[in-house]
Structure 1
């Protein structure tokens, strides 16, 4: 009798697992149908990279943050910049429609080098690089490891210094070598898109979410199995990668326009932006009073002004 019970339990688990995988595939298909690629897919060193280019003028590359995709930048910022610049927006590896680099979590250096190579494939030689949040760490790695391929740096609400707070339970679970692969398909299968959209809205607080942003940004793409895993691994590895890069960051001399909100509780102003600006003579810090973690939406004009200053400092001349 005990053996039959165990066997029945195993069969039930197998059936549940198969059903979860089936639902996960359906959820992913719906997300990709609702939010298809906006740009084109490049083959870069054997990896698929999703890139979108708008406008003409001096080159600006925009890199999105954790759990996101390039739609975060194409909602408003990229189209506005395209009036004066050639703007190129990428999906980071494992997110949006750019393939994962590996199964262990692409480092910020690997991501920066892949996107740098993708930019060169598009004949972009010395862009200004803006990175938001985690994408700002990738932009810093770009400046450190590809200094001949960047004209100026704009870290936006970006981590730049080591921190003491622990990794959240969410990221600990999803990045775990055993538990993560077991939990992630269940999240993809059973978590509603509305829950992810609420989480996106919470990132803006206390600032308002711009009308139409949730419908545009493609939050359901984040719930795909590969994206959840890649994002969690990248986030779990970030502290050690930022720590290891400190000496190289201290040697940066290119024009740097740091932009950070005073109400950012996701990436702290005093932990990251202020020490970075104090350390680097070439860095200028713009504090945005009352702005939280999404300044490229809540204070878009200030972000565009920072890019303009970076262009002037780098000797670039935006189109009139």
Structure 2
């Protein structure tokens, strides 16, 4: 008869095997149901960046937020502006189908996230390789920190910045326990495989609803966005580490914000519970001499879905302030 110790070992191995198998199935499913929509740009060092480019006009780069990918933009927003701009939506490094900025960040024991500056440098190199010229940079949520890092390090190559509900200032307090655990060495080893293997669809839909609150989730968004992409093991680890390590980078960036000279349009809903207006966009606007803030009453964390016309108007203002020329196509009606 097997001993208690041997039974524990056998059960542990079986549980580990089931977890690994579940995580593998999710990643395989994501590759089939939500493959790259655009092209994989090979950088000189062998890394790859996924980019979706559509339309014509001045170059506009879209940078998604935490737990996301370029599919957040291609759901509807790209289609609404491709008649006015040449739009390139990137997967941020470590997310979607883009590689990490440097080796080691995918290692299970790593607890370091790629900085906004590292991510911006990698996306900037990809933009150069596909011929983007002095783009307007639009960043949503976490992506706004990457857009501002890009502008700080390459002001001559940046036309303007549009910050949509951006996480751009150091915040008081600590992140939630799940983020802290997921980004730690031990937690990062154990927790992401469990999440990748066993998170149920109902929990995913609740998380999406919370991100949009108080606004409704547009019909079809979750199916297009592809939660399995976000719940792949590599994406879970990368996202947790990037978010957990963001605050000290924002402390350093905030000291440099007054030196920004390109036009900056900030747009933020006053009902955003995820990235509060008063913590981020209002103080940011006071630091950047060229910043202009537009507050959207009653709008939550996803203005590009909940109030797309207002976001497009902010892009157009940034374009005009930067002196860029484009043919003017009418803004499509909000499909919702």
Is the 2:142–2:168 contact (alpha carbons within 8 Å) kept by the matching residues of 1? no
Is the 1:263–1:289 contact (alpha carbons within 8 Å) kept by the matching residues of 2? yes
Secondary structure of the structure 1 residue equivalent to 2:261: coil
Could you tell me which residue of structure 2 aligns to residue 194 of structure 1?
Answer: 202
Bigger shift: 231-240 or 264-273? 264-273
Could you tell me which residue of structure 1 aligns to residue 285 of structure 2?
Answer: 277
Could you tell me which residue of structure 1 aligns to residue 70 of structure 2?
Answer: 70
Distance 1:265 1:197 in 2: 17
Structure 1 residue ranges without an equivalent (≥5): none
**How much has 1:100 moved relative to structure 2?**
2.1
Structure 2 residue ranges without an equivalent (≥5): 106-111, 329-336
Distance 1:222 1:197 in 2: 13
1:217 aligns with 2:216: no
How do 1:296-315 residues align onto structure 2 when only pairs under 5 Å count?
A: 296-315=304-323
Could you tell me which residue of structure 1 aligns to residue 332 of structure 2?
Answer: none
Normalising by the residue count of structure 2, what TM-score does the alignment of the two structures yield?
0.92
State which of 102, 115, 125 in structure 2 corresponds to 1:117.
125
Could you tell me which residue of structure 1 aligns to residue 81 of structure 2?
Answer: 81
Could you tell me which residue of structure 2 aligns to residue 152 of structure 1?
Answer: 160
**How much has 1:197 moved relative to structure 2?**
2.5
1:169 aligns with 2:168: no
Could you tell me which residue of structure 2 aligns to residue 138 of structure 1?
Answer: 146
**How much has 1:41 moved relative to structure 2?**
0.6
**How much has 1:285 moved relative to structure 2?**
0.4
Is the 2:269–2:298 contact (alpha carbons within 8 Å) kept by the matching residues of 1? yes
Is the 1:128–1:150 contact (alpha carbons within 8 Å) kept by the matching residues of 2? yes
Deviations 1:269-304, CA, capped at 9 Å, x for gaps: 111111111222211000000101000000100000
Deviations 1:50-106, CA, capped at 9 Å, x for gaps: 101000100000000000010001111111110010000000111111112341321
Normalising by the residue count of structure 1, what TM-score does the alignment of the two structures yield?
0.97
RMSD: 1.3
Deviations 1:188-230, CA, capped at 9 Å, x for gaps: 1111233213211211111111122112111221110000000
Bigger shift: 28-37 or 233-242? 28-37
Aligned residues: 319
Could you tell me which residue of structure 2 aligns to residue 29 of structure 1?
Answer: 28
1:55 aligns with 2:42: no
